[in-house]
Amino acid sequence: MAITIEIDHAKTRAKAAAAAVLPVVPQAVKGPIRRIKWGILLLTLSIYYVTPFIRWDRGPNAPDQAVLLDFANGRLYAFFVEIWPQDLYLVTGLLVLASTILILTNALAGRLWCGFACPQTVWTDLFLLVERLIEGDRRQRLKNIGAPLTAKRTAQIIAKHVTWLLISLGTGGTLIFYFTDAPDLLGGLVAGDVSANVLTWVAVFTGTTYGLAGFAREQVCTFMCPWPRLQGAIWDPEAYTVNYRDYRGEQRTSAKKAAELRLQGKSAGDCVDCGQCVAVCPIGIDIREGPNFACINCGLCVDACDGVMAKLGRPRGLIDYESWANIERGHRREAPRNRLLRPKTIGLGAACVGLAGTIGVAFVTKTSATLSVQHDRDPVAVHLSDGSLRNAYTVKLLNKSSSPRRYTLSVGGIDARLSIVGNEDLSPIEVAPDASESLRVTLTAADAGHRDIVFTARDETGSAISATDRFVER
């Protein structure tokens, strides 16, 4: 059976709006999926707005904000995690892991992230809630389109946009809090004592939130986001996405006509063509037309259809989270099969576990100091008058902790005399917090030949860091 996945909006809506393009005006809906979405919205917004104000004690000379993107000093903090520029491989690993989890989620349940937890979806839901509370539900808002302005209507429009702007301002301001100390910046914003740079970024993020959640809505999910385009490459017929069981719903007819047909012992489709699935869709598509790239898998049409089926006394699930493969099995009158565990999902799950384990090991073995060694290139070796050979190196000690450290330097793998320029007695080298020290080091050996050597720096606690280089003759 050939499958065509549409990227445009619903054909039925396009035909109805041939003369004029109508905006997507979703209708409110009640049901278990809508309640889950409200819960996720509340959770995600709470995390977003509260996190910058959570404190985390890292000791003296270190910021106490739990999550801080301190680009000015080259640090990323997330509770007990501290990332330096040298540790950006961990960030890269986390991004790869997040992408793999997203692909696994898609293989299991399609665009589930898009429908429930994507920031665009969350803030759009919040803006729609404000719009409904001020202007009314779908029917009233559709009546308002093109209607003459009255005093009441003007007040509603002003109240809606003022509320949207306040939410956008709170969103943009909170995002800035992640880049500097939140309480201090909040105090500065209240007192009007902030830089033009801060005000510019707050204005940019405020405008972005206002524009995308207030006006661009379904255009972001359909055209601006790259994820719908990737669906063509990774769409999986075994994934549990929102689908219409057309083998049960067709032929469509009115509820009264369907009841009459059933009384006569004839078959009738459960779909009464009420259009509720289209009315509640935040993208404005008709899921009954088959898989659609624009569908964000939010499941609101499932709640709407289940409500209609309950009123008609018909079984729920005419529109449901179902795999396309099971839809095809339904056409053949075969029993549905659950194939969440299959080679693709098992492989992706194993990849996620492997990546998470690798990142975990890399984080656990990450040290609070680093040692790097660079061999002199010109000359690489010097022959002394007594016949011995000298190699010179630049040794760099980096202390990533918030307290000063004292390191004792030694070398292994060679019988040679170690000298530190400016520190002839080899006394411990003190490195300030969040700082580095570069040392000029020479090794003098009577007869060493080419060999690997290991420089080791040990602090007062006994912790050691090392780096490998070469001792050469010429």
For the chain of 474 residues, list the mean pLDDT of each consecutive stretch of 10.
Answer: 48 44 88 97 97 90 90 88 86 94 93 94 96 94 90 95 96 94 92 91 96 93 85 85 94 88 86 94 93 91 96 94 95 92 95 96 87 90 89 92 88 91 88 89 86 92 90 85
Strands of the sheet containing 451-459, edge to edge, are: 429-431, 405-412, 451-459, 464-471
The angle at the Cα of 234, spanning 24 to 279, to the nearest 5 degrees, equals 20
Distance (Å, rounded) from C-alpha 282 to C-alpha 26?
Answer: 5
Q: What is the pLDDT of residue 15?
A: 47
DSSP 6: B
Distance (Å, rounded) from C-alpha 407 to C-alpha 116?
Answer: 51
- Count of alpha carbons within 13 Å of 11, Cβ hemisphere only? 8
Q: What is the pLDDT of residue 3?
A: 52
8 Å CB contact between 330 and 280: no
Distance (Å, rounded) from C-alpha 216 to C-alpha 374?
Answer: 53
Q: Calculate the alpha carbon distances from 318 to 198, 271, 278 in Å.
A: 51, 8, 14
Nearest to 8 by CA among 19, 21, 141, 273: 21
Length of the chain: 474
Q: What is the pLDDT of residue 392?
A: 94
Q: Where are the domains of the chain?
A: 1-24+237-335, 31-83+118-233, 369-471
Topology classification of domain 369-471: Immunoglobulin-like (2.60.40)
> Hey, which residues does 265 pair with through a beta bridge?
none
